[in-house]
Amino acid sequence: MRRLRDDVRAERRGPIECRGSPRASPPGPCRRCRCVARSSGSRAPGDGDAGAGRDIGLMAFKGTIDAGRTERLTGAPQAGKRGVTPNSQGGYMMRLRGAWLLCTLLIGPPVLAATAAGPDSEQIIRYYRRKSNLPPAQKVTVANMKDSAIKGAKQGELQVGDPPNAKSVTFMVSGDGRYIVFGDVEDLTVDPSKAVMAKINLKGEPSRGPDAAKVTVVEFSDFQCPFCSRGYNTIEQQVLKEYGDKVKFYYKHYPLPFHPWAQLGAVATECAKQQKTDAFWTLYKGLFEQQKDITADNVKDKSHAILADSKIDQAKFDDCFDNKKTLDKVKADMAEGSSVGVTGTPSFVVNGRLLVGAQPFEAFKNVIDDELASAK
């Protein structure tokens, strides 16, 4: 019973984010989005760029083998499983067998690859359809098939669905077409955090904090998301006050489509930024602090009121806002967010490490302190 109570308390404390589809809508502060509890902590999304470490062979499989994600294309996939279970003796033996086979396939004699039939696109599609229990009408195609960074293997992408909403699933298949791994191939010689930060354009972006700061925090957020309002308070009241000139902070837009005025708020802040950087931060603060009073109908008037003391040209602002002249910038921010693993709001990239959801201050502190210690 004590363990059960602890689990319940942990679940209640879990930070929450806005994400996903409005079709699965539990009651709560954000009624049209799917809100999910996330455990505290961070993750560093991999970059997957090929570099100098192409000859490390099996080492790039460390995560996939340990997680039991290497699968045989020649057998039927088991429903609800991604591979063998590493906790049982049988699973352990399968992992050893899989590791031996991968060593043989990837770094073994060239004769093996020469006699193999090679990967077959239709076989990969059939396997993925059964594994994912896709309906017959669901479109699945193989794209971008090429040599993998790991010798003897091929890699490609499965495009599931129709553009522009197609889902992309990266895979790698052994040279004989027998074994497949779903997921990115990552280069162990590349710092994943630096690779993530390289995908985010910060040139000319409004920021708070000195250029010499050892830690950079980039927030991807939505002005209408209630959990983003919590994130705003954590950043403003705790992170920036606690760390001062040790942190440099940037704000990027990630308005969710089912929040009626979120995109308009993002467009408005970018219109204000075109005239004055300070006006951007003034409107940023005002939209979060007055979030409950703002609607799609009054966001323009509310922006006027918030910017009243900013001395910007209101006619220019209105022309920019009415014609959504900054919408492309908002969409570019969203594309950047997606490229580094953002799927919901708020999400924070701390020196390339991703924190997802309305995390408590302690979660930021753990990551920031670790980064500061590493910088010494």
Digitized pLDDT (tens) for each residue of the chain, 376 residues in all: 554 455 445 444 555 567 654 444 443 444 444 444 343 444 444 444 444 443 434 344 444 444 445 676 766 665 544 443 444 444 545 454 555 545 544 544 433 333 345 678 999 999 999 999 999 899 999 999 999 988 999 999 999 998 778 889 999 999 888 999 998 888 899 899 999 999 999 999 999 999 999 999 999 999 999 999 999 999 999 999 999 999 999 999 999 999 999 999 999 999 999 999 999 999 999 999 999 999 999 999 999 999 999 999 999 999 999 999 999 999 999 999 999 999 999 999 999 999 999 999 999 999 999 999 998 7
Q: Residue 115's domain spans which residues?
A: 54-182
203 and 335 both lie in a single domain: yes
Which pLDDT score is estimated for 184? Answer: 83
Residue at which a domain ends, from 156, 182, 208: 182
Which pLDDT score is estimated for 105? Answer: 47
340 and 256 both lie in a single domain: yes
Distances (CA, A) of 119 to 48, 136, 147, 157: 21, 22, 11, 13
Closest CA to 336 of 217, 252, 236, 226: 252
Which residue(s) pair with 355 in the sheet? 348
Which pLDDT score is estimated for 18? Answer: 73
Identify the H or E element spanning 161.
none
320 and 198 both lie in a single domain: yes
Does the residue 48 lie in any domain?
A: no
Domain count, the chain: 3
233 and 160 both lie in a single domain: no
Q: What is the CA radius of gyration of the chain?
A: 24
Angle between helices 299-306 and 277-289 (to 10 degrees): 120
> Helices marked H in 28-141 — which ranges?
62-66, 89-107, 110-115, 121-132
Which pLDDT score is estimated for 41? Answer: 45
Burial class (CB in 10 A: 0-12, 13-18, 19+), 121: middle
What CATH number does the domain containing 294 carry?
3.40.30.10
Does the residue 61 lie in any domain?
A: yes
200 and 242 both lie in a single domain: yes
Does the residue 364 lie in any domain?
A: yes
Does the residue 307 lie in any domain?
A: yes
Instruction: Give the distance, in angstroms, between the CA of residue 118 and the centroid of all CA atoms in the same chain.
Output: 33
Query: Residue written as tokens 């499965």?
Result: 158
The secondary structure of residue 238, as a DSSP letter, is I
**The total number of residues written for the chain in this structure:** 376
